[in-house]
Structure 1
Amino acid sequence: MVEAVVLREEIEIPEGISVTINDEVTVKGSKGQLSRKFKHSNIIIKEEDGNIVVESHFPKKKDKAMLGTIRSHINNMIIGLTDGFTYNMKIVYAHFPMSVKASGDKVTIDNFLGERHPRTAKIVGSAKVQIKGDEVIVTGISKEDVGQTMANLEQATKIKGRDPRVFQDGIYLVSRE
């Protein structure tokens, strides 16, 4: 069996996006700027002919896996700065009407299952949370920040010690764009 000598992945840089590669990859666009460090000894990241090239010479199994991971992270940075990420969530309650408020870097959930103390969920990084009626919209340019904020909202309303078939109250993901 012959191993590949060089594995190479290319990512096209769209118009309106600029990329600088030093010890970290920085992507700038009209919506803002994202930067991230990638530490892996056998992977080289460089810019070539309007493309970002991620390559590995004499790759081992872990290098092949990291190559795809790094390519996906850089691609998500570019998508975030061109289109952004939006997660639509829905507030669902049957027993006690809960109220949800976003202020600063946290979301406060009052009267969840009739509890006296409010529950809170952290808003991570540059993500923004909008609440319109029974809809919660989480938007941002970083996929990790938007996804973690959405997960924090779901986890804050997780029900323990009750039958989940009866108590389906909570904040749930409906769609992502």
Structure 2
Amino acid sequence: MTVEIVENTVDIPDDVNLTLQGNKVAVTGPNGKVERDFSHARLNISYTDSMFRVWAENPRKKEASLVNTLTSHVKNMVKGVTEGFTYYLKIVFIHFPMNFQVQGKKLIINNFIGEQEPRTAKILPGVEVKVDGDDIIVSGPDIEAVGQTAANIQQSTHIRNKDLRKFLDGIYVYKKE
């Protein structure tokens, strides 16, 4: 049995402005702007009367599943420019206290497990990083950039060649909003 049309829609709120040029979508709102290029997907995209619509005619399985993927991306873009995304990371150390500095687009971690050389984590564009006591707060309108920045920070304190049950020092994500 074949399906002739698979479609999905997203309602766009009044305080959000969505622009569509070809298959490039830009969403602006109170918290900023997020752009995304969907030209890799062979789907039809339209935007009229605060309704974003994605559909595929005579789709194969991958194209049909891509319809829901694209609408989820647009929903995340709308949520990001209205509410924003926030990741909370906890700083854990046993003996050597770590020091943090945000310099431009890098987070510099000093004195991690007593190392002399500082470790760095890349902060992606559009993401704000705040150090608040034993917490690091990563926030921004783009969910992928916020998540990747949090992952960069967590990976920069990964301990190698030691027993991870004993050496628990590091920075760990504990909450996502």
Confirm or deny: 8 A CA contact 1:42 1:57 kept in the other structure.
no
- Shift in Å at residue 41 of structure 1? 5.2
Show structure 1 runs of 4+ deviating over 4 A.
none
Match of 1:19 in 2: 18
Matched position secondary structure for 1:20: strand
Match of 1:80 in 2: 80
Match of 2:151 in 1: 151
Match of 2:61 in 1: 61
Q: 1:161 and 1:167 mapped to 2: Cα distance?
A: 10
Q: 1:42 and 1:7 mapped to 2: Cα distance?
A: 13
Scaled by the length of structure 2, what TM-score is found?
0.96
Moved more, 129-138 or 31-40: 31-40
Question: How big is each residue's C-alpha offset from its partner over 1:55-97, in whole Å with a ceiling of 9 and x where there is no partner?
Answer: 0000101101211221111111100001000001110001211
The count of corresponding residues between Structure 1 and Structure 2 is: 176
Q: 1:42 and 1:126 mapped to 2: Cα distance?
A: 29
Unpaired stretches in structure 1, ≥5 consecutive residues: none
Match of 1:99 in 2: 99
- Residue 103 of structure 2 aligns with an amino acid whose one-letter code is S
Matched position secondary structure for 2:96: coil
Match of 2:47 in 1: 47
| 2:115 corresponds to 1:115 | yes
Matched position secondary structure for 1:11: strand
% identity of equivalent residues = 40
Scaled by the length of structure 1, what TM-score is found?
0.96
What CA RMSD, in Å, does the superposition of the two structures yield over aligned residues? 1.0
Matched position secondary structure for 2:126: coil
- Residue 149 of structure 2 aligns with an amino acid whose one-letter code is T
Confirm or deny: 8 A CA contact 1:42 1:59 kept in the other structure.
no
Say if 1:96 and 1:133 are closer, same or farther in 2 by CA, change over 3 A. same
